[in-house]
């Protein structure tokens, strides 16, 4: 005797019966990594692995020519040549401290996966970003991570590359976060996913570009007193369309999002 699937508490799989669709996320939440999700610049943090070694003169004062991404390519290659292993680099990235209140914010986000789609855009590198998120138990929260490619070559050296090329005059040559966000929104729209509101949490000058394409109903969360916040403040009245909510602790972002998710904001 056949028993109805629904009588067993299961969706009906009979021919012609619609399969229930997962709810589409209502909101898109974007994060920067360095000095936003974590409380350090991870590029600077790798210098802790020098351990008494002296940097060669070309690497001592940062990029004098070329991009910062190219400078980091040379620095990581040099560290590898000095015997710094990928395991040491991974452990360093894992140890980066979360910014104040970020643990509370991530805890909130883990409870609202159906309503919030999370994306991270970082000018650091995929190797380091994923290592930290995995160590924090937060990697699975993010649908997509956009960062500079980095992989271990046959010599055991972490090889870094640029993310892409672009024509934005504001952004470093290896990454325009505004282009990444625009293309992501277009892709999701083609997939029949459009967001009621977009939220952007960042700190740096390169976070100002993507925040600049937000709409009036969207919200920019610049870290208080950091370059993104100062650039927004310097904009002409009305030029920056999104609402602006500066933060010193991720707990402030969590409280705002809790209001949104509760329909009170």
Annotated binding site for substrate: 43, 123
44 labelled catalytic: no
How many whole angstroms separate alpha carbon 116 and alpha carbon 210? Answer: 19
How many whole angstroms separate alpha carbon 12 and alpha carbon 195? Answer: 30
**Which positions make up the binding site?**
32, 34, 43, 123, 203
Which of 34, 153, 192, 218 is an active site residue?
A: 34
**Which positions make up the binding site for Mg(2+)?**
32, 34, 203
Nearest-CA neighbor of 198 among 212, 88, 239? 212
How many whole angstroms separate alpha carbon 131 and alpha carbon 170? Answer: 29
Decide: 121 and 77 in contact? Cβ < 8 Å: no
153 labelled catalytic: no
SS3 215: coil
Residue 135 backbone class (left: φ over 0; alpha: ψ -120 to 50; beta: rest): alpha
How many whole angstroms separate alpha carbon 162 and alpha carbon 56? Answer: 23
The residues near 85 (Cβ < 8 Å, ≥ 6 apart) are 156
Sole residue written with tokens 């010599």: 155
Residues with catalytic roles = 32, 34
């Amino acid at each position: 005797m056949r028993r109805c699937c629904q009588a067993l508490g299961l969706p009906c799989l009979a021919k012609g019966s619609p399969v229930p669709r997962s709810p589409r996320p209502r909101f898109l939440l974007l994060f920067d990594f360095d000095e936003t999700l974590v409380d350090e610049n991870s590029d600077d943090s790798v210098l802790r692995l020098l351990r008494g070694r002296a940097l060669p003169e070309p690497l001592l004062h940062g990029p004098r020519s070329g991009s910062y991404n190219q400078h980091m390519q040379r620095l990581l290659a040099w560290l590898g040549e000095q015997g710094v292993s990928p395991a040491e680099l991974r452990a360093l990235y894992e140890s980066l401290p979360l910014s104040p209140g970020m643990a509370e914010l991530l805890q909130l986000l883990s409870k609202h996966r159906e309503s919030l789609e999370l994306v991270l855009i970082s000018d650091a590198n995929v190797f380091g970003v994923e290592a930290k998120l995995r160590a924090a138990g937060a990697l699975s929260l993010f649908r997509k991570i956009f960062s500079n490619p980095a992989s271990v070559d046959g010599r055991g050296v972490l090889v870094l590359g640029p993310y892409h090329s672009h024509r934005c005059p504001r952004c470093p040559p290896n990454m325009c976060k505004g282009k990444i966000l625009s293309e992501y929104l277009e892709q999701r729209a083609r997939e029949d996913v459009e967001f009621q509101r977009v939220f952007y949490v960042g700190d740096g000058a390169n976070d100002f570009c993507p925040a600049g394409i937000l709409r009036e109903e969207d919200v920019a969360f610049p870290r208080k007193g950091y370059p993104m916040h100062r650039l927004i403040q310097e904009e002409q009245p009305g030029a920056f369309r999104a609402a602006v909510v500066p933060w010193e602790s991720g707990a402030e972002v969590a409280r705002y999002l809790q209001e949104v998710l509760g329909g009170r904001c």
